[in-house]
Amino acid sequence: MSNLPRIEVRPILHRDQHLLGLYFPYDLQVTTMLRNMNARWSKTHNCWHLPNNRENLKRLFSELKGTAWLDTSALFQNPQQKPKNQDLKPKTQVPKPAHTLPPLSDQQQDQINTFKAWLISGRFSPNTVKTYSEALSIFLRYFHNTDISTITNEHLIRFNNEYILKNGYSASFQNQVINAIKSYFRQIQQKKLNPDLVQRPRQEHKLPNVLSKEEIKQILEAPTNLKHRMMLSLIYACGLRRSELLNMELTHIDRSRKIISIKQAKGNKDRIVPISDKLLDMLTEYYKAFRPIKYLFEGAKKGTQYTAESLSSVLHQSLKKSGIKKPATLHWLRHSYATHLLESGTDLRYIQELLGHKSSRTTEIYTHVSTQNLQKIKSPFDDL
């Protein structure tokens, strides 16, 4: 446990919302995992945060198990009395870890900026640019006193053994860092490092989380707000990613052809998905009520995008109202859409196109969570 980064979980009040403030020394792996959980950064409180509810606390323990140690003692101080607003604001200084890496030198920072510019010019996603830049930063800080031009495969092996493995970082983090270092030296330093010399972890095979049709129905019917119900319905009905919904504009919907155009989604790919008459009727009702002017779903200010944080909160509130205890995320709706299509007899090739998967192998994973054929299997236990 001593090798795991410590995350102090404190109750905070931010923009009139009760949140879980997450305080820890900078750690790329933890930061990446929190982003995947839809956590947001607060400059005011100098921390990452999630809505303060039991479901999110359970998710933190579940998702970060083996990666970080959660200190929740601050949540249970004076449980009978809510702290005053001024007591909720945490200290601005986060304790530094004992093994803090040295800061970047000017030369190293210049290299980070050059690498970041190359990633941006190559139209890598903002998340990839940030993740790769932070990964390279850690590597260069680890070899703070080493001239970049003298770095070899041996340095990469040392970094893997002495930093990644020793600190118990995950396989996905290890692959991210190695890929970032490999790209930097190949493109910026014009020098090839051989990642094959580093013992790569076996690829993890995790099955997607799927909700039943009955659970989906409960979630979609839970919101009383029409916009909230429309957003969740569209994600499930069309198998959308969160970003695809938030980036959708009014012009992307073709009523006459009954299709929605998904523009520049993951991998910079366009695709089209069908939209049913039932969904078109819901959209008509939504248009009349909210009158969006650019994006299909806009924030408080007309013409601005709805935020990812607010969208995640919509789902959490729906789960709470429907009484579903599973730690579902927005991506669970997409997984459920694909699985339900497969169970209804839709060919995998069509599902691949609808989801925008580059490889059919990605889509085939849904065959492992479909219960249609499994339910036909009779256990020998029943014959005893």
DSSP 298-318: B-SSTTSBPPHHHHHHHHHHH
Q: Which residue has the tokens 């009727």?
A: 281
Token pair, residue 161, equals 């053994």
The reply to whether 58 belongs to the active site is: no
Determine the residue type at 5. Answer: P
- What is the CB neighbour count within 10 angstroms for residue 163? 16
User: Which residues face 23 on adjacent strands?
Assistant: 8
In order of 21, 128, 300, 315, the CA distances from 332 in angstroms are 25, 22, 27, 11
* Residue 10 forms part of a structural domain: yes
Domain that holds residue 155: 106-197
- Which of 143, 166, 197 is at the close of a domain? 197
Tens-digit pLDDT profile for residues 283-337:
999 999 999 999 999 988 888 999 888 898 899 999 999 999 888 999 999 999 9
The CATH number given to whatever domain includes residue 340 is 1.10.443.10
The reply to whether 366 belongs to the active site is: yes
How far apart CA 350 and CA 343 sit, in angstroms, is 13
Total domains present in the chain: 3
How far apart CA 314 and CA 51 sit, in angstroms, is 11
Q: Which of 40, 141, 252, 331 is catalytic?
A: 331
DSSP 8-state class, residue 295: B
- For residue 294, what pLDDT is reported? 94
Checking if the pLDDT of 85 tops 50, the result is no
The reply to whether 357 belongs to the active site is: yes
Q: Which of 266, 271, 320, 321 is catalytic?
A: 266
* Residue 338 forms part of a structural domain: yes
Q: Are residues 46 and 143 in the same domain?
A: no
The reply to whether 266 belongs to the active site is: yes
- For residue 246, what pLDDT is reported? 93
Checking if the pLDDT of 369 tops 90, the result is no
Q: Are residues 254 and 157 in the same domain?
A: no
Does the predicted TM-score (pTM) go above 0.85? no
Q: Which of 89, 130, 241, 263 is catalytic?
A: 241
How far apart CA 363 and CA 354 sit, in angstroms, is 10
In order of 71, 88, 187, 351, the CA distances from 58 in angstroms are 13, 22, 42, 32
Between 231 and 174, the more confident residue is 231
Q: Are residues 136 and 274 in the same domain?
A: no
Checking if the pLDDT of 211 tops 60, the result is yes
- For residue 90, what pLDDT is reported? 38
Long-range own/partner contacts, residues 273-278 (CB < 8 A, 24 or more apart): 273/238, 273/239, 273/240, 273/354, 274/238, 275/237, 275/238, 276/237
Tens-digit pLDDT profile for residues 224-238:
999 999 999 999 999
Q: Which of 228, 334, 335, 340 is catalytic?
A: 334
